[in-house]
């Protein structure tokens, strides 16, 4: 079975306790995926940003509560999902053959960028997970290339997920229901590059995308990076389709993209 790769926005950590159109969509998406269950989910999270390429190697992941100022129930949620050490070793062998320096990581647990998404898709925790770090300081082409190294895993029934956010500027969030035009214009521009698989222009998004300074501020590029890792993982099947699009707080985009048919 060949799995697609996905980019899934994780929004606010409170996604874990919300019931809205987006959480309903993620539940349905998870049910669709489980019609032919993947052997594991490999997830790149925006909240594991490091110049070192890390690969988790746990047999059981702890749940990190890496946020503050949220409702008390947020700190009592547990999502103790299994790891897949064999898959971690496959990944390490791929990185080794690709001359990508990496380190295995044990005991870190899953940050909320990882477990909130996985829990929304697979509430029972039945799909093992391997977490990978991102490096927001790498160029878009380098991020894409790392994802491309992992393409063969999709043919081994591994679901690859990038968890982040295309428009993610906490300083510009507003108490409004309708999205800010600048946010939708940025998302639409990115969508055009994805559906046409226009890598040349996409890799230069920091200069060419409209409203990029508002959408991807310099302090939050790690939320955009997972898109490129997930996209690269489907380089052999260059097909992109938007599965969902909505906004919270006027600009925080909740979007899901599937790469590969």
42-74 pLDDT per residue, tens: 999 999 999 999 999 999 999 999 999 999 999
**pLDDT given for residue 259 in this prediction:** 98
Q: In what order do the strands lie in the sheet with 40-49?
A: 102-105, 53-56, 129-134, 40-49, 158-164, 5-9, 252-259, 240-248
86-126 pLDDT tens trace: 999 999 999 999 999 999 999 999 999 999 999 999 999 99
- Please report where in the chains the tokens 């989910």 appear, as a residue: 41
CB of 159 within 8 A of CB of 6?
A: yes
Question: Per 3-state DSSP, what percentage of the chain is helix, strand, and coil (rounded to 5)?
Answer: 40, 20, 40
Residue 14 burial by Cβ neighbours in a 10 Å radius (0-12, 13-18, 19+): middle
Instruction: For residues 222 and 52, give the distance between their C-alpha atoms in angstroms, rounded to a whole number.
Output: 14
CB of 159 within 8 A of CB of 41?
A: yes
Mean pLDDT of the chain: 96
Phi, psi of 55 (to 5 degrees): -130, 120
For residues 137-156, give the mean pLDDT.
Answer: 97
Strand partners, 60: 82
The number of residues making up the chain comes to 261
**pLDDT given for residue 242 in this prediction:** 98
Instruction: For residues 31 and 121, give the distance between their C-alpha atoms in angstroms, rounded to a whole number.
Output: 7
202-220 pLDDT tens trace: 999 999 999 999 999 999 9
**pLDDT given for residue 170 in this prediction:** 86
Instruction: For residues 17 and 15, give the distance between their C-alpha atoms in angstroms, rounded to a whole number.
Output: 5
Token pair for 28: 């349905």
Instruction: For residues 44 and 176, give the distance between their C-alpha atoms in angstroms, rounded to a whole number.
Output: 30
CB of 105 within 8 A of CB of 155?
A: no
**Domains located in the chain, CATH noted:** 5-259 (3.40.830.10)
H helices within 19-176, ranges in order?
21-33, 85-97, 112-121, 140-149, 151-154
**pLDDT given for residue 130 in this prediction:** 98
| Pairing status of strand 158-164 against strand 40-49 | parallel
- Please report where in the chains the tokens 């699009």 appear, as a residue: 245
Instruction: For residues 3 and 75, give the distance between their C-alpha atoms in angstroms, rounded to a whole number.
Output: 33
């Amino acid at each position: 079975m060949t799995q697609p790769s996905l980019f899934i926005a994780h929004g606010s950590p409170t996604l874990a306790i919300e019931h809205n159109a987006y959480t309903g969509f993620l539940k349905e998406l998870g049910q669709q995926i489980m019609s032919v269950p993947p052997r594991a989910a490999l997830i790149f999270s925006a909240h594991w940003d490091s110049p070192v390429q890390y690969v988790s190697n746990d047999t059981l992941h702890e749940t990190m509560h890496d946020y503050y100022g949220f409702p008390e129930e947020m700190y009592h949620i547990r999502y103790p999902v299994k790891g897949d050490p064999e898959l971690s070793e496959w990944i390490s062998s791929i990185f080794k053959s690709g001359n990508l320096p990496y380190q295995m990581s044990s005991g870190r647990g899953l940050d909320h960028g990882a477990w909130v998404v996985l829990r929304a898709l697979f509430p029972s925790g039945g799909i093992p997970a391997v977490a990978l770090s991102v490096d927001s300081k790498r160029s878009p082409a380098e991020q894409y290339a790392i994802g491309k190294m992992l393409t063969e895993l999709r043919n081994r029934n591994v679901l690859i997920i990038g968890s982040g956010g295309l428009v993610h500027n906490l300083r510009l969030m507003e108490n409004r229901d309708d999205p800010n035009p600048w946010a939708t214009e940025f998302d639409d521009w990115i969508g055009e590059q994805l559906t046409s698989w226009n890598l040349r222009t996409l890799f230069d998004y920091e200069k060419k995308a409209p409203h990029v300074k508002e959408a991807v501020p310099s302090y939050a590029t790690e939320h955009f990076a997972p898109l490129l890792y997930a996209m690269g993982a489907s380089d052999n099947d260059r097909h992109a389709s938007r599965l969902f699009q909505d906004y919270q707080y006027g600009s925080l985009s909740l979007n899901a993209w599937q790469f590969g048919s």
